[in-house]
Chain A
Amino acid sequence: EAGVTQSPTHLIKTRGQQATLRCSPISGHTSVYWYQQALGLGLQFLLWYDEGEERNRGNFPPRFSGRQFPNYSSELNVNALELEDSALYLCASIETGLWMNTEAFFGQGTRLTVV
Chain B
Amino acid sequence: AQKVTQAQTEISVVEKEDVTLDCVYETRDTTYYLFWYKQPPSGELVFLIRRNSFDEQNEISGRYSWNFQKSTSSFNFTITASQVVDSAVYFCALSGFAYSGAGSYQLTFGKGTKLSVIP
A contact residues vs B (CB 8 Å cutoff): 33, 35, 40-43, 45, 48, 55-58, 88, 90, 92, 97-101, 103-109, 111
User: Which residue of A is nearest B95, CB measured?
Assistant: A99
Known contacts A42-B109, A45-B106, A55-B102; A108 and B50 CB within 8 A of each other? no
Total residue contacts A-B, CB cutoff 8 A: 63
Q: Which of B14-22, B37-45, B64-72 contacts A (4 or more CB under 8 A)?
A: B37-45
Partner of A55, one of B32, B104, B110: B104
A109 lies within 8 A of B43 (CB): yes
Q: How far is the CB of B93 from chain A (nearest CB, A)?
A: 8
User: Can you report 16 A-B residue pairs in the complex whose CB atoms are below 8 A from each other?
Assistant: A33-B107, A40-B111, A42-B91, A43-B112, A48-B104, A56-B106, A90-B43, A90-B45, A98-B105, A99-B95, A100-B31, A100-B33, A101-B33, A103-B47, A105-B47, A109-B44
Assembled-state Cα–Cα distance A43/B119 (Å): 29
CB-CB under 8 A from A92, the residues of chain B are: 45
User: Which residue of A is nearest B100, CB measured?
Assistant: A59
Using C-beta atoms within 8 Å of the partner chain, give the interface range for chain B. Answer: 20 to 34
A104 lies within 8 A of B101 (CB): no
Assembled-state Cα–Cα distance A57/B95 (Å): 15
Is B13 in the interface zone, CB < 8 Å from A? no
Assembled-state Cα–Cα distance A56/B107 (Å): 12
Assembled-state Cα–Cα distance A100/B47 (Å): 14
Is B52 in the interface zone, CB < 8 Å from A? yes
User: Which residue of A is nearest B94, CB measured?
Assistant: A99
A101 lies within 8 A of B52 (CB): yes
B45 lies within 8 A of A106 (CB): yes
Partner of B106, one of A40, A99, A107, A111: A99
Assembled-state Cα–Cα distance A41/B108 (Å): 12
A56 lies within 8 A of B52 (CB): no
A108 lies within 8 A of B111 (CB): no
Known contacts A55-B102, A101-B52, A103-B50; A45 and B108 CB within 8 A of each other? yes
